[in-house]
Amino acid sequence: MTFQQQIQQGIPNELPQPKPYDPNINHAPKRKQILSEEEQKLALRNALRYFEPKFHAELLPEFKEELQKYGRIYMYRFRPDYEMKARNIEEYPGKSQQAKAIQLMIQNNLDYAVAQHPHELITYGGNGAVFQNWAQYLLTMKYLSEMTDEQTLVMYSGHPLGLFPSHKDAPRVVVTNGMVIPNYSKPDDWEKFNALGVSQYGQMTAGSYMYIGPQGIVHGTTITVLNAFRKIRKEPKGGLFVTSGLGGMSGAQPKAGNIAGCITVIAEVNPKITKIRHDQKWVDEIHENLGELVERVRKAQENQEAVSLAYLGNVVDVWEKFDEENLRIDIGSDQTSLHNPWAGGYYPAGQSFEESNKMMAENPGLFKEKVQESLRRQVAAINKHTEKGTYFFDYGNAFLLEASRAGADVMAENPGLGREFKFPSYVQDIMGPMCFDYGFGPFRWVCTSGKPEDLQKTDELACTVLEKIMENSPKEIQQQMADNIQWIKGAQENNLVVGSQARILYADAEGRMKIAEAFNKAIKNGEIGPVVLGRDHHDVSGTDSPYRETSNIYDGSRFTADMAIQNVIGDSFRGATWVSIHNGGGVGWGEVINGGFGMLLDGSDDAERRLKSMLFWDVNNGISRRSWARNEGAIFAIKRAMEAEPNLKVTLPNFVDENLL
């Protein structure tokens, strides 16, 4: 069968042969056994409903073995034989160009070079899934190959509920992930619902088909690192940044450190992912001996190198060793997946990678104790460094939250509203006031032709647009504009592409709309192929997350999620090609609600109409909420937006005299 025929087939009429477990692939850790005997039967019933009864006798023992061996039913047998990668949009079967674009983006999320655990359909973060099992993937791709521009595919946590009649301006796909009732949103609830096959953790851009490899966070991390050094009034050159994690999102850190120009030391316990990042040239060197690492850092400081050094081992040992050696750390953070602390997101010190994996499945209670003990040790070492002048910030991975739950010394002496911890979130100190309040966030695009020359052309178009906008930009956003122009000019030489020909760029509503217009015109003129627009959910409007994206909201509304819900509703009727809303992003299940979109530009007048309407709302929804919280940058930004668009009228806050209060 051809690639197109395999897509159109969906779930095959005859059972494919079982597939052997490939030990060379980076696999998800075994999940703990959380289902009762009756619930295990229910999980099997749920899995078998994808298949005709004549196959049940053969599949039942196989699925039972997967459930008992891995804690989930992945349906490995149904993994496709074709190479999993983003192809040219014209290679996909279908009646709708928009549906073909979504097929492309799904396959990009599962590309072996992109996905963290590709055989388990997990893109990043240890549990950020595109689908729960391979039957869902096959059925979804089949639906997309059949869809017209007057239908909408409804996705329930990885499950394709079906194609429904709609109209050409409706989204082609509407995605929800993990939207459980709030009282059933604890970590163990996720474990149970996911094992039953009824819900999944979509992370942010995994379950919304918008992940573009670590590049997606490189730019944001570069901005964060640059501004962290600006906060301590030190040049990055020769400065030391210590952190951890080389997985899907955290793997961006060493590359960002190199672009910023500092020395980055990053610890990672997983040998496979460490080797992958080194092979991809996202990290320069791998070290396994702490003594040698210390000497290498001293040499790098002396020579003022821009270099990234991976330590294959636990970050706790790094913090403690650098303290013993009195090695000065300028800025520090952590990007282990602490939204998922008990199932592979964080590995405790004092144990091997293999020992930890065995313990988390066979003795989860003891594993939790070891993780919390390790967090207390890590914080104790970090505190010693901060007393010497290190600037430490939480990187939005729930590090401070989980450390506080472990009893670590992270609480502020005099906590205030939104300032419970002694260390700030990077959003509170950097991204919120400097970027999000002014409407700057991670706009991204994918060239569906797969041609590097198309990406280069879009880089040039974006740079030209930004330079022109900057000529008349107010002083309040000149730094943001300059940083982004510098970024896009260096994007090609930094070899950021992993998987699809994609780019990320922090831009405000004006920048996003004008860049998108330039792309659509170039497509219309035949200069480039169609382009998919999107963004990270980690943005101005898409996400309500009290300890990350909305951590610099101080009016008491940090724990509300109206903005994220309004965002996805508004995007859906303003022209998005697909929309998504998720429970649980980078900070954990039950800790955040986040929404995203995708939009295909095909050079048409319809695409131009949609991009103007949707992109304007997608940004200004969040600025409006931030201005109502009395954030000065957001008040400035929304007043500018109202001057530019007469139909925009936003309720502005009045300030109360503090003496009167």
DSSP annotation string for 521-537: HHHHTTSS--EEEEE-S
3-state secondary structure of 486: helix
**216 assigned to a ligand binding site:** no
**575 assigned to a ligand binding site:** no
CB 127 within 8 A of CB 72: no
Rounded distance between C-alpha atoms, residue 482 and residue 546, angstroms: 29
> Across-strand partners of 173?
153, 578
The dihedral of CA 83, 89, 94, 99: what is its sign? Answer: positive
User: What's the farthest any 2 CA atoms get from each other in the chain?
Assistant: 77
Token readout for 299 is 């040499």
Rounded distance between C-alpha atoms, residue 409 and residue 420, angstroms: 12
**586 assigned to a ligand binding site:** yes
Three-class SS string for 358-408?
HHHHHCHHHHHHHHHHHHHHHHHHHHHHHHCCCEECECCCCHHHHHHHCCC
Rounded distance between C-alpha atoms, residue 395 and residue 250, angstroms: 10
**350 assigned to a ligand binding site:** no
Token readout for 3 is 């690639």
Token readout for 515 is 């860049």
Alpha helices (runs of H) in 389-477, residue ranges in sequence order: 399-405, 426, 432-434, 452-470
**354 assigned to a ligand binding site:** no
**125 assigned to a ligand binding site:** yes
User: In degrees, to the nearest 5, what angle opens at C-alpha 178 toward C-alphas 176 and 182?
Assistant: 115
Terminal C-alpha separation, the chain: 74
> Across-strand partners of 443?
505, 535
Rounded distance between C-alpha atoms, residue 112 and residue 105, angstroms: 14
Rounded distance between C-alpha atoms, residue 347 and residue 581, angstroms: 29
Alpha helices (runs of H) in 49-157, residue ranges in sequence order: 56-70, 97-110, 134-146
Alpha helices (runs of H) in 119-176, residue ranges in sequence order: 134-146
Place of tokens 């672009």: 259
Rounded distance between C-alpha atoms, residue 558 and residue 523, angstroms: 41
Nearest to 383 by CA among 427, 339, 325, 423: 423
| Binding-site entries | 125-126, 203, 268, 395, 586
| Binding-site entries for NAD(+) | 125-126, 203, 268, 395, 586
